[in-house]
Amino acid sequence: MAIRANPRLIEELELYGAEDVSKCYHCGNCSAVCPFSRDPFLFPRKSMRYLQMGLEEKLKGNLDPWLCYYCGECSDECPRDAEPGETMMSLRRWLTSQYDFTGISRLFYRSWKIESAAILLVAALTGLGFWLFGSSVGSLGVYDGPGAFFPSSAIHKFDWALGFLLAGLLLVNCARMWWFSIGRDPKLRIPVSAYVRRLFLLPFHFFTQDRYRQCEKKRPWAIHLVLMLSYLTMLVLIMFFLHLVQSGPEIDWRVHAFGYLATAGLLGTTAFALYGRIRKTETHYKHSHESDWIFLILLGYVAGTGIVQHVLHRAGLNTAANITYLAHMMGVVPMLGLEVPFSKWAHLAYRPLAMYFSALQEEAMEARGRASEETARLRAA
Amino acid sequence: MGGNGKIGVFFCLEGTDTPPELNLEEVARYARNLESVVRVEVMGTRPRLDPETLAPDLKRAGIETVVVAGDSPGHFKQAFVRALALNGANPEEVRLASFREHGTVPGKLTERAKAIVACAVRDVPFGLAAVPKPVPVHPVTVVIGGGIAGIQASLEIADAGQKVILVEKSGTIGGHMAMFDKTFPTLDCAACILTPKMVAVAQHSMIDLMTYSEVQEIAGSSGAFRVKILKKARYVDPDACVACHACRDVCPISIPSEFDSGITTRKAIYMPFPQAVPNSYLIDAESCTYILSDGKKCGACLTKCAKDGIHLDEKDTVVEVEAGNIVVATGYDIFDASRIERYGYGTLPNVLTALEFERLTNASGPTGGTIVLKSKKYNKRKKAEEWVFDAEGPRPKSVVIIHCVGSRDARYNPYCSRVCCMYSLKFAHLVREKLPDAACYEFYIDMRAFGKGYEDFFERIKHEQVFVVRGRSAKVTEKDGGMVVKGEDILNDRLMELPVDMVILSVGLQPVADVESLARMFGIARDRDGWLTEMDYNLDPTATERGGIFLAGVCQGPKDIPDTVAQASAVAARILRSILSGKGQGSRADLTLEEIDARSRELAAR
């Protein structure tokens, strides 16, 4: 098969945040210090090589970036300051844009202006839509119950609709990820039984982030786990218990206990990440792509408006609470609607999938190795 | 001169080593006033030059000749060549004004940069315009440093009948070469080829050997230096000492031996090694109990010396000599491997530096040349267990040699140390020769076997079943009492986790610790890696900006023994030329901008 090289690949990747890729002289230091690098997935040096050679198609099917958790050891130990860790980060952004069939992700990652504009547009549309809806079904002074500006039952339906839409988009992208890394490779023949046998890896890695835990530094894993669990708690509360969460003004501890915990988790980790990125406290915080800042700002905004809305409602200021609710939705909808399928959040699907796919790849490769050994043996006999 | 005569001067910096005292704006202002210059632009650090946009720019200004000025302007030349070609102008008309090549004069960087730009604008080679005036020269030469470079230079000059004063900091001449077991690629015994030269130095009637001495100050001017030399007290009279070792046997103080790179110990009264020149004992004042206690304690050696040669009340003296030329041959230090924690040097007993292995495998080393692992021994005096080399100790079954330790690394020394690949190959050969059952691995980044016969040597060790792995290992860890080396085998696309017994770190070379004060004393600059700078990298690699001061050996930059010897002989030729002709080289550093400017005008007018 002819291999087509893209000599401008490094320049393209620089738009996704890569720096100094061409400095690499392939000493293999990074692959040797990396706690995850092992046969047959050797990284980050190999990815650096593909980039230098412009092997775009090979990189598209490369799962290595998703197996890296950016502990930063490789960048710290790099004798050339070639920033292999940041290259892997940029490759994750690039891969996200390659998986995305709409091309929106590509636009977002390459231009923060377009991403910001899209966020503002979706926010404005959300605001307008909810305002018109709210005014038609209720009055601004009522927060909950009959005549509420945002009746929880309606919001509930909207949430589920949005959820299905996002899941659909993400699923298509996941299918493309499968096609690039496994499907189109005729050498990888994976039996259905293997797919079923390894399926447990998906929920396992999603919920435990066990691989992240194996990094030499444990704190980033802990922080990420808290963030993820907080999100998950929020998601469950909103998708299944919205009516309980929204009712008031008395505090329903059955749900709010979880809500408070999750909020604390979200705020704490967001503040930590913001502080880290501003002060560049750790290797993985040294380089920040525009999309990282947008993501953190959105996160902070959503958490902040959520708290204010909650407090205002409990204080009996229902009009103010409804306005804050509207402002909150204007953050939530673009954050979920744009970040989940098209930007940073997509990794919630790609990471566990990559563990799953790489396990399948490895199994197929081993089987092929055994088969060729067998053939060689038979031939010799 | 080609084109229409209109010249544009463009400043493009590489940026990695632009000294802060270089005032680029001032140089640019100066360039604007030079004749024919119509445009001066400071393009900044590592500008991305596009010939397509440069071309119309140059055309509009009518520029048909371009001067690219900077620390390494050659990096940016091509864009201007293409731009001129696109304009239909003569693409040859791009001149380089390289500050790095001609520019390093301490304290006068801006003035020098101006002169370099002026010469480039006038198309006059800087080397022709900046010719220092000859000076009368004193016939005596001071050589600083008694390694192979200093020894070679001294012998060459002295053999020509001229007086040499050889000043050596330690108690013996010989330097690093005396510590080596074999030389590459010929596998000559280093001591066998060096010691005759050392003895020749000691016996030469035209060489004054001053060991255990340091140059403190260089006054005067080119051709007529006054050199102040501190003669540190040896406390043992070299003329009386017959090296009977009686004093050593009673001395109670043991400290790590410098000559054995710390793998054995020596006494406070010691001879650096058996073939030391002068072949005499001396006392290390910093560890001698008698001297440290002002004569209140110890003094055991005094009673044992049959020749009454020990004088513990000896004082340092300073002598001043006159000299016409000075040879700087101050050598190098090796990289401190403990700075890279992942290699475990200093914590894992059987991780050795190259110099330690060199001593271990040397027939005069602690095991008589047997390669063994360190074994634990009980030290009665210290009442503790310690790791020592014992000739009866276990032999390693697998040895890993890791290249580029501290070299080619942005965090430590960015340059290639040049000798490590070859000495590593030599080690591999020695391991395979002495321990045929041991596996030997080399982890390398690029194999730099560049010299005569070096590639052959590389091929040879491959045929000796040495496993040569492309990929520098990054990690040595302890596992079940042994060691594991982890590295990527790049050419075989796999990860290696090798259980090994011994790891040798091929440490690089670096400038001596006090290089900064040395450079200040000599009045010569250092390059970005810290090495002393020569006058002209290509055409005058032995002289310096300061007339009468010459460089030989590694102090100018990493090099192997053949290159060092060649450079030392070249220095001798330069010095003999000045002595025999009576015309010493003046200082280029002392030339003023006006002088160079006037001379370049004169040359341009011809």
Cα–Cα dist B171/A293, whole Å: 63
Cα–Cα dist B185/B450, whole Å: 11
Which residues in B lie closer than 8 A to residue A39 (C-beta atoms)?
A: 494-495
Cα–Cα dist B526/B473, whole Å: 32
Residues found in chain A? 381
Give me the percent of chain A exceeding a pLDDT of 90: 68
Angle between helices A45-53 and A84-99 (to 10 degrees): 60
| pLDDT, chain B, mean | 93
Say whether residue B477 is in contact with chain A using an 8 A CB cutoff: no
Which residues in B lie closer than 8 A to residue A45 (C-beta atoms)?
A: 488, 490
Interchain pair B490, A28: CB under 8 A: yes
Please report, for chain B, how many H helices and E strands are present, in that order. 17, 30
What is the pLDDT at residue B107? 78
| pLDDT, chain A, mean | 91
Contact A182, A188 (CB under 8 A): yes
CB atoms within 10 A of CB B81: 17
Q: Which domains does chain A have, with CATH numbers?
A: 9-99 (1.10.1060.10), 104-364 (no CATH)
- Please give the sequence-ordered ranges of beta strands (E in DSSP) within B234-373, or none if there are none: 254-256, 265-267, 269-270, 282-283, 317-323, 325-328, 333-334, 351-353
- pLDDT higher at A247 or B318: B318
What is the pLDDT at residue B16? 62
How many alpha carbons fall within 13 Å on the CB side of residue B254?
Answer: 10
Would you say residue B590 has pLDDT above 50? yes
Cα–Cα dist A313/B427, whole Å: 78
What is the pLDDT at residue B106? 76
Say whether residue B410 is in contact with chain A using an 8 A CB cutoff: yes
Q: Is A134 helix (H, G, I), strand (E, B) or coil?
A: helix
What is the pLDDT at residue A326? 94
| Planar angle of CA B259, B265, B268, nearest 5 degrees | 90
**ipTM for this prediction:** 0.86
What is the pLDDT at residue A40? 86
How many alpha carbons fall within 13 Å on the CB side of residue B578?
Answer: 30
Chain A residues within 8 angstroms (CB to CB) of chain B: 25-33, 37-39, 42, 45-46, 77-81
Which residues in B lie closer than 8 A to residue A30 (C-beta atoms)?
A: 474
Cα–Cα dist B485/B500, whole Å: 7
Reading the block at residue A297, the tokens are: 């700002």
Would you say residue B105 has pLDDT above 90? no
pLDDT tier at B17, thresholds 50, 70, 90? low
What is the pLDDT at residue B43? 87
Say whether residue B523 is in contact with chain A using an 8 A CB cutoff: no
What is the pLDDT at residue B284? 94
Q: Is B342 helix (H, G, I), strand (E, B) or coil?
A: helix
- Which residue carries 């004088």 as its tokens? B311
- pLDDT higher at B153 or B23: B153
Give me the percent of chain A exceeding a pLDDT of 70: 100
B47-87 residue pLDDT tens: 888 999 999 999 999 999 999 999 889 889 999 999 999 99
Would you say residue B310 has pLDDT above 70? yes
Cα–Cα dist B41/B8, whole Å: 8
B205-264 residue pLDDT tens: 999 999 999 999 999 999 999 999 999 999 999 999 999 999 999 999 999 999 999 999
Which residues in A lie closer than 8 A to residue B475 (C-beta atoms)?
A: 32-33
What is the pLDDT at residue B18? 67
Q: What is the mean pLDDT of residues A220-240?
A: 92
Interchain pair B494, A42: CB under 8 A: yes
- Which residue carries 């401190």 as its tokens? B336
Q: What is the mean pLDDT of residues A278-298?
A: 91
Say whether residue B486 is in contact with chain A using an 8 A CB cutoff: yes
Cα–Cα dist B268/B260, whole Å: 15
Would you say residue A153 has pLDDT above 90? no
How many alpha carbons fall within 13 Å on the CB side of residue B152?
Answer: 24
What is the pLDDT at residue B539? 85
B350-372 residue pLDDT tens: 999 999 999 999 999 999 999 99
Out of B412, B470, B495, closest to residue A31 by CB: B495
A167-191 residue pLDDT tens: 999 999 999 999 999 999 888 889 9
- pLDDT higher at A3 or A273: A273
| Closest chain A residue to the Cα of B404, Cα to Cα | A27
Which residues in B lie closer than 8 A to residue A77 (C-beta atoms)?
A: 342, 474
| Closest chain A residue to the Cα of B445, Cα to Cα | A27
Reading the block at residue B536, the tokens are: 């002209």
Q: Which of A79-93, A307-321, B188-202, B419-433 has the lowest mean pLDDT?
A: A307-321
Q: What is the pTM of this model?
A: 0.89
Give me the percent of chain B exceeding a pLDDT of 90: 81
Interchain pair B494, A31: CB under 8 A: no
Q: In Å, how far are B136, B541, B555, B599 from B131, measured between CA atoms? A: 16, 16, 25, 9
Would you say residue A1 has pLDDT above 60? no
Contact A358, A67 (CB under 8 A): yes
Q: Is B231 helix (H, G, I), strand (E, B) or coil?
A: strand
Long-range contacts of range A317-322, CB-CB < 8 Å, 24 or more positions apart? A318/A141, A318/A142, A318/A143, A319/A140, A319/A141, A321/A143, A322/A134, A322/A140, A322/A141, A322/A142, A322/A143, A322/A149, A322/A150
Would you say residue B474 has pLDDT above 90? no
B488-532 residue pLDDT tens: 999 998 999 999 999 999 999 999 999 999 999 999 988 889 999
A111-152 residue pLDDT tens: 999 999 999 999 999 999 999 999 998 888 888 888 889 888
Interchain pair B488, A80: CB under 8 A: no
pLDDT tier at B1, thresholds 50, 70, 90? very low
Interchain pair A37, B488: CB under 8 A: yes
Angle between helices A290-314 and A253-279 (to 10 degrees): 150
Reading the block at residue A75, the tokens are: 């960048």
Interchain pair A79, B487: CB under 8 A: no
Would you say residue B3 has pLDDT above 60? no
Contact A72, A284 (CB under 8 A): yes
Contact B200, B155 (CB under 8 A): yes
Would you say residue B485 has pLDDT above 50? yes
Q: Which domains does chain B have, with CATH numbers?
A: 7-130 (3.40.50), 141-231+317-331+512-584 (3.50.50.60), 246-304 (no CATH), 334-510 (3.50.50.60)
Would you say residue B153 has pLDDT above 90? yes
Reading the block at residue A245, the tokens are: 């969460």
Q: What is the mean pLDDT of residues A341-346?
A: 90
Per-position b or e across B287-313, b if 16+ CB within 10 A of its CB = bbbbbeeeeeebebbeebbeeebbbbe
**What are residue B328's DSSP bridge partners?**
B144, B551
What is the pLDDT at residue A145? 80
Tell me how close the Cα of B381 comes to any Cα of chain A, in angstroms: 41
